[in-house]
Amino acid sequence: MKKVYATAAEALEGLLHDGMFIAAGGFGLCGIPELLIAAIRDAGTKDLTVASNNCGVDDFGLGILLQTRQIRKMISSYVGENAEFMRQYLSGELELEFNPQGTLAERMRAGGCGIPGFYTKTGVGTVIAEGKEVKTFDGQDYILERGIVADLSIVKAWKADDTGNLVFRKTARNFNPPAAMCGKVCVAEVEEIVPRGSLDPDLIHLPGIYVHRIVQGTHEKRIEQRTTRKKEAA
Q: What tens digit of pLDDT does each residue of 197-219 get?
A: 999 999 999 999 999 999 999 88
Question: What pLDDT is stored for residue 98 in this prediction?
Answer: 93
Q: What tens digit of pLDDT does each residue of 4-14 get?
A: 999 999 999 99
27 near 152, Cβ under 8 Å?
no
Question: What pLDDT is stored for residue 119 in this prediction?
Answer: 98
What ranges do the domains of the chain cover? 4-118+148-216
What single DSSP character describes residue 60?
A: B
Low-confidence ranges of the chain (pLDDT < 70): 234
Residues recorded for the chain: 234
Q: Which CATH class is domain 4-118+148-216?
A: alpha beta
Local structure of 206: helix, strand or coil: strand
Question: What pLDDT is stored for residue 150 in this prediction?
Answer: 98
CA distances from 73 to 17, 81, 170 (A): 15, 17, 29
Find residue 145's DSSP bridge partners: 118
Question: pTM of the prediction?
Answer: 0.93
Of 167, 21, 31, 209, the closest CA to residue 108 belongs to: 21
